[in-house]
Amino acid sequence: MLAENRVVSVLFLVGRLPTMEFSEDLVKDLQSLLGKMIDIAEGDFGGTTRQITVDDKGLAAIFVFGLPGYRQSCHATQCLLAALRVLPHLPEYRRSVDVRAGIASGWCYCGIIGNPQVRCEYTVMGDAVNTAARLAGKSFDLGLPMLCTENVAADIRKEFKGSVKLTRAGSLKLKGKSEEIDVFAPDGPRLDVEPNLLSRAGPFIGRQSELQLGLEFASGCRGCPRVLFIHGPSGIGKTELLKQICNPDRAGVCRGMDSVLIDGTLHDELEAYQKIAMKLQQLEQNSSEREGARMAKLEILDSQDSAGCNLQASACQLNGKEEHAGRETLASSGLAAEYEEMISTGLRRHDVLVVVDGAQHVDQRVLELLVKTVSHDSPEDNTGHSKSRVILASAKPMRHVLLGTNMEPESDTPSCRKSWTLELKPFGKEAIAKLAQELLLCNGLSESFLDWIAEQSCGVPLHLWELCYWLTANLFIQIDGDGFASLRSGVDKILQFAPALVKVVRGRIDQLSQNMGIVLRCAAVLGTSFNVRLLFLLLPPGTAGSKEELFDTLALLDVANFVQPTQLREIWQFKSPIYQEVAYNCILHEKKRKLHWKAAEHIQAMLNQAEADHQVACGTSVRDRSNMEEELLSHISEGMKLSHSIQDQNRIVDYKRFECASASINQIAHFNTDRGLVLRAWKLQNSFNETVAGIESANIHWLPEAKFIANEATLRLLSRISQADSNFLGNDQSALIQHLMNQNDNLLKDLLRRNRTGETIVHEEDIISDQTADKELVSLLVRAKTTRCHAEFSLSNVVEDRTYNSFVEWLKIVGTPEASFTLAACTCVLSIISMRFLDAFDTASKILSSEAHVGKKLQPTHLFGFRLECVVPVTRYIAKLMQGDLEPVELRQAMQSALQNAPKCDQGTCRALCRAFEGAAGPQIHLIHEWESWECLESVNTTFEWSAAAHFGNMLAKAQRALSCCKCAKTGEINARTVQEGLSAWQCLTCRAVRESLNTPLKLELFTVTRNCIFEGCRVMFEMPQDKVKCSWCPSDTACTTHMKHMEDTVYCLSRCLSAYSSDKLKYRRQQLFPLGHEYAKAMLTWFKLWLRDTGSATPSTESTWRAANKQPDGGYVDVFNRLLDIQGTCLTSSDIPELMTACMPATVALVRLLNGEGIPNATCGSKKGIGFTRGGIQLSLLVRLTPVGLSEQEGLPDVRVEVGSHEAKQIGIRHLDHVLSLLSKQGKPLCIHAIDGPHDLGGSFMAWETVWLRKLLIEQMNFRRFQSSG
């Protein structure tokens, strides 16, 4: 028979009815109210319903807390919290019943009354029940909602620190009591207190010497150092010691001290900076103008960060620099740099104590900044040393890590050291006895009991607390009349097997109510700190109906000493990592795996929603999104590690989960990369790859494919990064790419062997050509091939012939439409990069004419930064343009139509590629105006590889505007100052454009700058065709100094371009793009220097060329002519003339102008021999072909020597121009030269218009000379 005397707490609710008639509404209200009372008392606070009666006298409800099986540490607390939760519901039922409450604690008989065989019931009888009932009745007289006894108030004061304040309501004489008793009631304003705001008030016992040392350090007494390292295992009391040191209410040396407490488990790098900066700003009474400006910048950047702005962009605005989006680290952002400067200065100027709890979780950069700032004297500081101090608390020693191997040796005298190290050791017997007395509410412990509890707890405060709870909950202790606690008799054998700390905690978790246990376990899956919103989504249906109910459950777990709230309402944390670890290990293996995958799905859904709304995660900041991404990676990694194979169905589900996880990581990596957060993207992708690579299980049949997919995605991302920054990861970057390539090959071979069992050798071509092959496997092989090609290009910056040929061969034999289009798109990209324009046009035309491109989802989606769906029509347009079709209208319209459906970033990338080729084909192309201006790219997000194109275009546009401003708009006259400013600005901006062009993936923009520089030099030397493109800053009567100034600037900028071709970043020795165009640029640079020499200009940059040229009888012009002639011949002998627009046509125009005697200063008009050059008495004559190479009907004709400017030279020049013009077309048709009146008739190509114009000029000169001769 169950019967015992035990201490319990009783909640007695009494209700008075306004009428004796039990109407239907009254009954409904009573049923509703009693239902809520029972749910709150039993479901939320673990009480037991003893009795409920409703009669003509009113309502009575008795709830008892602390009966056997009770699950809480303090039943008085639970009883009071239940009453406080019930009271807010009473006003809505006041029309039917007026309810008051009484609470009392004490010894009661708890057991069965009656005959078990006939009729019996479990009852609770005793003074506590009677006292609670009479206090409820007295509440009506005092007009209070609730009264409780003094012993209940004492328990509440020990349990809480003012969260629930009970005040004395007076003394009452109760029936059955010989004396008056003091009664207490909660404060009125505190009646609506939220349970989640409650926190336990643990007594601070022991550690007095450590506390005194900490207080002396914090106050700077006795010449103590500036850094204090505290370390000790979990549960040893580090956090409580730090709270006592920073307690502003503690009397002592630290009163009035300014301190900042940072929790390493909650605050990331930037948040730690912000907390310290806010404290320093409060101390700035008279902020200087510089500090005020810095704080204004920080506020702007913080507001942008909260709105989801890129930290890299914020840094650019702060520093006033126009940097392209590149490598992202917090160290590279101007925001962090400003915080670091402010913190470093402020900590030296002010007396601040910075306390970091959980320092092992804080970014080491923050810790190094704090230690370095307070440890080292600064000559710039007038005080000579820092006034601030730093306390770092961690689970393991960190002194050696932060101070390095050269730190000062330990000294016996603390004051002789620059830092103190305090190790928190386990409690001794005296401290254990004091803490146990407080926890057990006794006056002392027996000697045997003290020895036992000291041995079992090992002096760890957390373990001691759990042991005391375990002993109390299981009734293993007894307290005598003098208040001394001892072990009950008969429990010796049980206590021989006292559980360890983990088992004690697990036992407490098992005793929680069902909902509380589920919430605690799901929270443990999310980590030591967790988001309530995500936890709510993770809970099984029915666990918590709303977030408020979840907060109530968390409040109960707070009272049970498992979790606690933080300063952020949505963020809670476990009170000790041990609790999180034990709760996590209480979950079954399969359940843990499912919870991790479920959490990953919900986090990914949040990120997707934020990205769809063009915001950063759900209105949070960039670093909040970063935290979500790291949580996603953590859950995916844990889910992968816990994956197993039991049934075929489970294998399929797990593989689908992996596919979704891999896609999520790839999506996040692309999202961050395209916004310049490259380091974050790389860390996430690489961590995911390492996690998957580290899984070893023969039961997971899809594991080889998973490893290959993860490795291939990592290689593809690193190739993208390397394409824009070849030194992103330092000197080991190339080796890492090569390692990933080798790993990819090995994984692919292993995968093929598993898919084709029984075959010793598997050829990729066999699978590709097999129309019945698995489409997923074919797609995987194609993706692997494109990724390897991209990686090879990132290493060598060249498309090998074998690589290109292998793509062509695969394209011929591929058996699936999806793979066919992917291979065709990749082949088009490779054809453009390797200048196989004819092949590119044929491949693009074939694939677009087939059905392979309709509605296909391609993998991979990008190559070299281009979306494959867009690159095919773009390639066809570029190939036609570079083959000499000056106005491919239909192709351009088809390309524009294809780009309209593409994302904005991919539209910007394709437009940048087109502009690059158009700019390479000739300066000032009018097609650029049909797109948008170059500045438009700044408002369109391009992919990471092409993000620098926007800045390059901006520089180029500004350079052209600088020249256009040289002419005075009002008077039309030249203003010398305006001209000089415009020319200087052009030179500066052009040089910046050269630097920006080196950041683009294919470096095409560098050739665009080169062509523009050549164009500017030609405008100085030659008469140019009249067109709006021609700037009017330099009319015929302008002083020669202006000519020479602009030519000198042109020579300087063109030299910068050519030197950039040979830089390490460009790797020009293996670069395939426009090699003959490069030779043409070098020949023109030599010509420009010769022109400066013969006009009398003398600059150091041209002296070496002059000295070499002066050794030649012809002054160097013959060498320039021969080089131009060789360039023309090499172009024309190629099969598809890949450099028709970039080298052949401009070289032909240049050599014809030289034949005509243009660009040769001091030339004089001769007789019938034409224009001659009379420098040093030598007349210039050139050996030239009668017709260009490749004109079949004139093959075999000998070369002839002609004098420049002669009638014969003009005739030969016209033949050369005619041949080049015959290679051009317009909309696929040959040019009608006689119908051309300007660039508008040539698709906007100024280069082609100059060719036609020069031909007409030569004919006019010949006709004029013939007219003079006949006259």
Same domain membership, residue 694 and residue 569: no
Q: What is the CATH number of the domain that holds 235?
A: 3.40.50.300
Beta-carbon count within 10 A of 902 CB: 15
Domain boundary among 423, 446, 477: 423
- Strands 866-867, 862-863: parallel, antiparallel or unpaired by DSSP? antiparallel
Q: What pLDDT sits at residue 73?
A: 59
Count of all residues that appear for the chain in the document: 1271
In a domain, 1069, yes or no: no
Residue 419 sits at φ, ψ, to 5 deg, of: -145, 150
- Domain range enclosing 808: 590-829
Same domain membership, residue 595 and residue 583: no
Q: What pLDDT sits at residue 9?
A: 92
Q: What is the CATH number of the domain that holds 557?
A: 1.10.10
CA dihedral 90, 94, 97, 102 (to 10 degrees): 40
* Whether 753 contacts 767, CB under 8 Å: no
Helix (H) or strand (E) holding 100: strand 98-115
In a domain, 362, yes or no: yes
**What gap in Å lies between CA 636 and CA 615, rounded to an integer?**
24
In a domain, 613, yes or no: yes
**Mean pLDDT, 10 residues at a time, the chain of 1271 residues:** 77 87 83 86 82 87 82 75 84 84 91 83 90 91 89 78 72 86 73 33 73 83 80 84 76 60 75 79 58 51 42 32 37 61 82 86 82 67 63 80 49 56 88 86 86 83 81 77 80 64 77 85 91 91 86 87 84 87 84 88 83 51 75 86 56 76 84 78 88 79 84 88 75 85 86 60 75 79 86 81 87 82 87 85 85 58 78 88 83 83 79 79 52 43 67 75 59 62 84 82 82 88 65 43 82 88 56 80 91 69 49 68 89 79 90 87 45 42 66 56 84 89 86 84 84 90 74 55
Residue 1093's nearest CA partner among 1022, 1175, 1033, 1151 is: 1175
Q: b vs e for 293-316, b when ≥16 Cβ sit within 10 Å of the residue's Cβ? A: ebbebbeebbebbeebbbbbbbbb
Same domain membership, residue 307 and residue 454: no
Beta-carbon count within 10 A of 939 CB: 10
Q: Which residues contact 1145 (CB under 8 A, 6 or more apart)?
A: 1220, 1247, 1248, 1251
Same domain membership, residue 532 and residue 388: no
Helices (H), 226-363: 238-246, 269-283, 289-306, 311-319, 334-349
Same domain membership, residue 1180 and residue 1246: yes
In a domain, 838, yes or no: no
DSSP assignment letter at 71: -
Domain boundary among 533, 553, 587: 587
**Dihedral sign, Cα of residue 979, residue 980, residue 984, residue 985:** negative
Q: What pLDDT sits at residue 524?
A: 92
In a domain, 631, yes or no: yes
Same domain membership, residue 269 and residue 163: no
Residue 427's nearest CA partner among 418, 436, 417, 416 is: 436
Question: If you search the block for the tokens 């093959």, which residue do you land on?
Answer: 1195
**What gap in Å lies between CA 10 and CA 7, rounded to an integer?**
10
In a domain, 940, yes or no: no
Q: What total number of domains does the chain contain?
A: 6
Residue 867 sits at φ, ψ, to 5 deg, of: -75, 130
Domain boundary among 165, 192, 219: 192
Q: b vs e for 209-246, b when ≥16 Cβ sit within 10 Å of the residue's Cβ? A: ebbebbbbbbbbeeebbbbbbbbbeebbbbbbbbebbb
Residue 1178 sits at φ, ψ, to 5 deg, of: -110, 130
Same domain membership, residue 217 and residue 162: no
Same domain membership, residue 607 and residue 509: no
Same domain membership, residue 140 and residue 231: no
Omega of the bond leading into 1113 within 30 degrees of 0 (cis): no
In a domain, 65, yes or no: yes
**What gap in Å lies between CA 1045 and CA 1033, rounded to an integer?**
13
* Whether 878 contacts 843, CB under 8 Å: no
SS3 sequence of 366-428:
HHHHHHHHHHCCCCCCCCCCCCCEEEEEECCCCHHHHHCCCCCCCCCCHHHCCEEEEECCCCC
Same domain membership, residue 244 and residue 167: no
In a domain, 963, yes or no: no
Q: What pLDDT sits at residue 1165?
A: 39
Same domain membership, residue 576 and residue 598: no
Same domain membership, residue 675 and residue 608: yes
